[in-house]
Structure 1
Amino acid sequence: MSFAKRSSFDAYKQADTKLEKVLGVRDFLALGVGTIISTSIFTLPGIVAADFAGPAVVFSFLLAAVVAGLVAFAYAEMANVMPFAGSAFSWISVLFGEGFGWVAGWALLAEYFIAVAFVGSGFSATFQNLLSQLHITLPATLSNPFGTKGGIVDLISLLVIAIAGVIVFMGANDAGKVSQVLVFLKVAAILVFVVIGITVIKPQNYVPFVPAHNPKTGFGGMSGILSGVSMIFLAYIGFDSIAANSAEAKNPKRTMPIGILGSLAIAVVLFSAVTLVLVGMHPYSDYAGNAAPVSWALAQSGFKNLSIIVSVVADAGMFVALLGMILAGSRLLYAFGRDGLLPAKLGKFDKRGLPSNALITITVVAIVIGAFFPFAFLAQLISAGTLVAFIFVSLGMFALRPREGKDLPEASYKMPFYPILPALGAIGSIIVFEGLDSLAKMTAFIWFLIGIVVYWLYGSKHSKNNKEA
């Protein structure tokens, strides 16, 4: 049994040599920012402000960023030492053993499957809103997931995920170039919103900045801020998509720390600016149940044409996120196939040296989830899967440092204030996980139960690591 048998660093390094080294700093920054600044920035600030924290929603974003930032330092060092496809799955397999790596990787797999579908449906909702302004309405059967509001299939979600999959299929370098262009447009639109929004801010909307806590609803006070953190945390999962593609980095020792930490820093600034402007433009209670608060706030302030432009750019931003998620998810599936934990075909390369079978698989699964199934109740599962992986990576620092310069390469970038920061990263991730609602935690438990069964019945029997043992 190979559950605790550590995977070989040299074997991973050799296996990933077929992946072409084509991604540079700009590609990783574009993919990271594009994934982080996507659906969340255009939807979550208003919803969390109305339901949990009021104007203090900015503190929710900042606290989530602090926890994510602590883990990002660990991610940067691990990706520097072990630039392998599969990110946390491969790292934990090398540090703690294949079975532990499987648990971390299985958590991330849930994140990518659901996140791709989540973003695809977010794109569909925004696009349908644009169509309605042009007096174009799709039939209910083609505009909603099966069983939701008379829907059979969300056609737009299906098509946009498929198109994103095709672009990634063309090659990681092409996906990176597309991301750079769209991310530039998205950041420009966000800055325009902030500049225009500042001109119509009403100071009274910030008072009280931290509303009094209501024990019956959970709204307000420190409790409301912390509840907002758990809901917002999925906004910061984008830097894992950078790490998952580290095997394709031109110079991982330089590009990985800059890509991971740089994209997170840019995201924090943009999230904070959008959030503060948004709650200053209108009373936070006006955003209750509003899935497009940025566009709505502009339209209500008399900037209808700009609102349409922002909606278009928001969809462009979500498309960038799709590229990043599909790219990263396919590399994770490839890593599972590479190690024999899932069917070996997932770990095979095509004639261009790309894991096309893994790419097709994640695209098809995401299409099914996003186009045919209502998944709103699974949204927090994205955060749940990510947080489990974050806990593993933070704790993994205590196994990584003693091996650097011995059987593992010495890192050119090191996480500061070791061992304090990795410990805080693990504790912070556990606290945020505890803040998830009970349904999300129950669903996560069921997902991990399925994962253990899959590993026991298939993975452990076909594992290359087990055969070597």
Structure 2
Amino acid sequence: MFAQLFRTKPIDTEDRSGLKKCLSAFDLALLGIGCAIGTGIFVLTGIAAATLSGPAVVVSFIFAGIASGFAALSYAELAASVGGSGSAYGYSYVAFGELIAWIMGWILLLEYGVGAAAVANGWSGYFIGTLANFNIHLPELLTKAPSQGGIINLPAFGIIWVLALLLISGVKQSAQVNNIIVAIKLSTIVIFVGIAALHIHADNWQPFMPFGWFDKHADGHTIGVLAGASLVFFAYFGFDAVSTAADEAKNPQRDLPIGLIASLTFCTLVYILVSGLLTGMVHYTELNVSSPVAYALTKIGFTWSSTLVATGVLAGLITVLLVLMYGLTRILYAMSRDGLISPVFSKLNPERRTPVRIILLCALIISSIAGFFPLGELAETVNIGTLASFVMVCIGVMVLRKRQPDLKRPFKNPWNPLIPLLGVISCGALMVFLPNETWHRFIIWVLIGIVFYFVYSRHHSVLNKQAR
């Protein structure tokens, strides 16, 4: 039985997915940008500066970006050589065996599923606020979960189903919509950068590092630049969704590495630029507000800024949500083909070649969570799940270099094993800096997943049935 749990999946370079190959390197890069640039740039930068890092939030973004960069290079190598739409789940299956692959898939469900529900809730809040600016007010019963005195958060529930229908229509149509909306939100950021660059006051950057590098209080609360890096890491969450598109990329061995590295590099530069300008416009102590970018613009006299920011946030969150749902459906599709969840979900629509059943299942679950349950701090668990998947991908590169040295690798990490080793160290360190409560929730989630594996997945695994 022990050997069965760690039996690895052979690498199959032949495409058997049946999914439509239509995404270019440009489409893949914009998928990564669409998912990585969301509320983080309009909200997280100010909150992290005010409560954790001060103006050194720029350094926090640099640290988080470097850690993500090591992971991106590791993702790129495995995406080009192993392929498949399962992302870290598929790579773990090849490198570590079925049990670890299941745990990684289970963690990815948390990362993408809870992340999507949290984003839908955030989008709903901005959508309701934008309608209020035009004197349109939705009944409170339709904007709050039952535990908050309402019936349903209807905007959060509804946006999930709108995007589900888009995903069902086809991946190329979804990518085209993503590309258009990414252009809109990047235009919003360009306008902010142009205004902010003319209103910088160097005194606002003093003191530059008021909370130091790292300090942990008795209650588990952490502050400092490194703690800020753990928080702003959420800004990079989702760029790995590019790797879930392997089965739909025109030339995955070439295009996936380009999409991964290009999207992460671009997003890192944007976050560093925006966080530096924001803390230069307004002293960091004033930025602990729900919309720090809008607050900063209003303070320097641009009273129309709330509309600008609302446009950027609404556009940004739609692309984040779209890519998260896309990535989740492709991971579950891969797990279904492997028999770890019911094979009924691996059926494709013969005309559109999309996994309609799995899309509808994801929409049902995510919309129910977003519409009927306030997520609160549960969304913070997304960070630790993402970091855990990054660590395992980096380890997977080193394991496969040792186990299969002759494997064809169209993209190879430079300075192996230094890059993946640095990825393990940096992402692992960011996990250490997360609050204790986040660790508790993460461990409980993993234990639930292990129970599910032994109750169902182990007995229905395609790989294990073949070995009997």
- Give the TM-score band, short-chain normalised: over 0.9
Match of 2:463 in 1: 465
Match of 1:269 in 2: 269
Which secondary structure state, in structure 1, belongs to the residue aligned with residue 412 of structure 2? coil
Amino acid at match of 1:333: L
Match of 2:448 in 1: 450
Determine the C-alpha separation between the residues in 1 that align with 2:460 and 2:211: 56
Counterpart check, 1:4 vs 2:6: yes
Q: Deviation digits for residues 327-365 of structure 1, max 9, x if unmatched?
A: 110001111111111111122212232111111111221
Determine the C-alpha separation between the residues in 2 that align with 1:457 and 1:365: 21
Match of 1:191 in 2: 190
What's the TM-score once normalised by structure 1's chain length?
A: 0.94
CA contact (8 A) 2:51 2:223 kept: no
Counterpart check, 1:31 vs 2:31: yes
Determine the C-alpha separation between the residues in 1 that align with 2:16 and 2:211: 56
Q: Deviation digits for residues 432-454 of structure 1, max 9, x if unmatched?
A: 11111111111111110110001
Shift of 1:72: 0.5
Which secondary structure state, in structure 1, belongs to the residue aligned with residue 267 of structure 2? helix
Counterpart check, 1:254 vs 2:258: no
Shift of 1:299: 2.4
Which secondary structure state, in structure 1, belongs to the residue aligned with residue 304 of structure 2? helix
Equivalent residue runs for 1:37-56 within 5 Å: 37-56=37-56
Which secondary structure state, in structure 2, belongs to the residue aligned with residue 416 of structure 1? coil
Q: 4+ residue runs of structure 1 moved beyond 6 angstroms?
A: 214-218
Shift of 1:89: 0.7
CA contact (8 A) 2:282 2:296 kept: yes
Match of 2:16 in 1: 15
Determine the C-alpha separation between the residues in 2 that align with 1:28 and 1:14: 18
Shift of 1:239: 2.1
Q: Deviation digits for residues 164-202 of structure 1, max 9, x if unmatched?
A: 111111111111111111111111210110110122222
Amino acid at match of 2:8: R
Residue 424 (structure 2) aligned to one of 405, 423, 426: 426
Determine the C-alpha separation between the residues in 1 that align with 2:197 and 2:397: 43
Match of 2:65 in 1: 65
Which secondary structure state, in structure 2, belongs to the residue aligned with residue 199 of structure 1? coil
Amino acid at match of 1:108: L
What's the TM-score once normalised by structure 2's chain length?
A: 0.94
Determine the C-alpha separation between the residues in 2 that align with 1:60 and 1:152: 40
Match of 2:347 in 1: 348
RMSD: 1.8
Which secondary structure state, in structure 1, belongs to the residue aligned with residue 353 of structure 2? coil
Percentage identity across paired residues of the two chains = 35
Determine the C-alpha separation between the residues in 2 that align with 1:216 and 1:395: 28
Amino acid at match of 2:7: K
Shift of 1:460: 0.1
Equivalent residue runs for 1:398-413 within 5 Å: 398-402=398-402, 406=406, 408=407, 410-413=408-411
Determine the C-alpha separation between the residues in 2 that align with 1:397 and 1:137: 52
Match of 2:282 in 1: 282
Change (3 A) 1:328 1:215: closer
Match of 2:158 in 1: 159
Amino acid at match of 1:451: G
CA contact (8 A) 2:337 2:343 kept: yes
Q: Which runs of 5+ in 2 are unaligned?
A: none
CA contact (8 A) 2:170 2:353 kept: no
Which secondary structure state, in structure 2, belongs to the residue aligned with residue 245 of structure 1? helix
Match of 2:296 in 1: 297
Equivalent residue runs for 1:280-429 within 5 Å: 280-288=280-288, 290-351=289-350, 352-402=352-402, 406=406, 408=407, 410-429=408-427
Determine the C-alpha separation between the residues in 1 that align with 2:137 and 2:298: 20
Amino acid at match of 2:166: I
CA contact (8 A) 2:25 2:259 kept: yes
Determine the C-alpha separation between the residues in 2 that align with 1:363 and 1:70: 32
Q: Deviation digits for residues 95-142 of structure 1, max 9, x if unmatched?
A: 211111111111111001111111111111112221222223322222
Shift of 1:152: 2.9
Match of 2:131 in 1: 131
Match of 1:107 in 2: 107
Shift of 1:262: 0.2
